[in-house]
Homo-oligomer: A and B are copies of this chain.
Amino acid sequence: MLSLKVTEEGLTAVKGIQVASRRAGLKTQGRDLAIIYSERPARAAAVWTTSQIKAASLLTSIKHLESGTVQAIIVNSGIANTCTGERGLKDAEEITRIVAEELEIPQERVLIFSTGYIGRYLPLEKIRGALKDIKYDLDNSLAASLEAVKAIMTTDTRPKRISVKVPLGNGKEITLGGMAKGSGMISPNMATMLGFIATDVNIPPESLKRMLKTSVDKSFNMINVDGDMGSDAVVLLANGTESLTEPEMTIFQEALDYVCISLAKMIVRDGEGASKLMEVRVRGAETSRDARAVALSVVKSNLVKCAIYGDDPNIGRVMLVIGASGARLQEQKLDIYLENIKMVEKGVVIEFDRYEATRAMSKPEIQFLIDLNMGQEEAVAWGCDLTPEYIRINSEYPT
Contact = CB atoms under 8 A, between A and B. Distances in A.
Contact of A395 (B310, B321, B396): B310
Contact of A316 (B310, B387, B399): B399
18 contacts: A52-B323, A53-B347, A54-B331, A83-B316, A118-B319, A119-B315, A119-B349, A120-B349, A185-B303, A185-B320, A192-B320, A226-B302, A227-B301, A229-B321, A229-B323, A229-B324, A303-B394, A310-B397
A129 to B, nearest CB: 25
Contacts of A302: 226-228, 302, 386, 390, 394
A50 B120 CA distance: 42
Interface string A272-309: 00000000000000000000000000001111101101
Nearest to A84: B348
Interface residues of A, number: 69
Contacts of A327: 52
Nearest to A52: B323
Contacts of A349: 83-84, 118-120
B303 A347 contact: no
B52 A329 contact: yes
A189 interface: yes
Interface in A243-269: none
A204 interface: no
Contacts of A346: 85
B316 A117 contact: yes
Given A82-B316, A312-B399, A391-B391, 16 more contacts: A52-B323, A53-B320, A54-B331, A82-B320, A83-B344, A83-B347, A83-B348, A118-B319, A119-B315, A226-B302, A227-B300, A227-B302, A228-B303, A228-B321, A306-B395, A310-B395
Contacts of A319: 53, 82-83, 118-119
A396 B303 CA distance: 11
Contact of A231 (B306, B320, B386): B320
Interface string A112-138: 000001111000000000000000000
A51 to B, nearest CB: 4
B320 A229 contact: yes
Contact of A394 (B231, B306, B315, B398): B306
